[in-house]
Amino acid sequence: SLARIGSPHGASSSACRSAPPSPTRGLRPELRMSSAASPEGGEGPVDVALLAKWGGATVLQVATIAALLKGLDLGMAQASGLPELAPKALAFLLFGFMAVRSRAFSILDNSRPTKPSSADSDWNEVEVDSTESKKSLMADTIRPSWMPPPIAFPFIWSTIGVLRAIASVLVWEATGRTFFSVPLLAYGLHLSIGDTWNTINNVYQLKGTSAAGVCFVFASVWNAIYQYYQVDQTAGLVLAPSGVWLTVASVLIWTIWDLNGRDAFLPRADEE
């Protein structure tokens, strides 16, 4: 799902920290994208191969989750003599795992962040290569003063993870204890899109593509909420806070894009 947004460590809440754009020297080739491209054109040709990689990885993740759900249905149909609460416990554990570790189903780099090395560093959701150039890219990002403080993100995402698991179990029960169902597949689609977005935003550090991609994350979470609500109204309402938070996060991503030079929406191939 959408990663916790990075926020300034120790920054003032009344002003934005500004910094000059950092160089991209030292990054591996696929990360040396245009850092000052405009959304209208950009510098260099669009990296079609990279777009295909992200799209293919997303489709593969959805297919993997769908196969797992279908396999569970087949397995539960053959199981007998299980304690009455065993299937429900299994469902809750599965959906809880998916809520917090869906990236395990992705072939992309969805690594998480390491702790900032100093008080002047930023706390980011994703762990990136420990090169000075990548750390500089993170530290030089200008963020709005209204961004929630770093301490808020673990509480927000822990709460959302629990609510997602509860809502999914309610849907599972409302559909006759079926894992492979339209609402749960819609949820799997949302998680897959979110994990690909995490790679774009946090590993590749492409603010323009991140701004464009977060629209898909936004649309997919509200589609999942709608699908949940159709089969169980309570499940839809329980999942709704996830949509509310991702709406706020989407506004934040677009604000960061606006404050940092409005990079191109599509990734640009390295012309060097």
Average pLDDT over residues 235-255: 97
Question: Do residues 4 and 125 touch, judged by C-beta distance below 8 A?
Answer: yes
Closest CA to 141 of 129, 127, 123: 123
Q: Among all chains, which residue has been given the structure tokens 């606006």?
A: 258
Kindly report the number of other CB atoms within 10 A of residue 29's CB atom: 9
Q: Determine the pLDDT at residue 115.
A: 42
- Note the pLDDT tens digit of each residue in 52-85: 999 999 999 999 999 999 999 999 888 777 787 8
- % of the chain residues with pLDDT over 70: 73
Burial 115-142 (b: 16+ CB within 10 A, else e): ebeeeebbbbbbebeeeebbbbbbbbbb
Task: Supply the pLDDT for residue 85.
Answer: 85
> Which of 12-26, 210-224, 245-259 bottoms out in mean pLDDT, i.e. has the lowest?
12-26
Question: CA neighbours within 13 Å on the CB side: how many for 168?
Answer: 31
What mean pLDDT is predicted for residues 260-266?
93
Per-residue pLDDT of 172-208, as tens digits, reads 999 999 999 999 999 999 999 999 999 999 899 899 9
In this prediction, residue 83 carries a pLDDT of 82
Residue 123 has pLDDT above 80, yes or no: no
pTM assigned to the model: 0.78
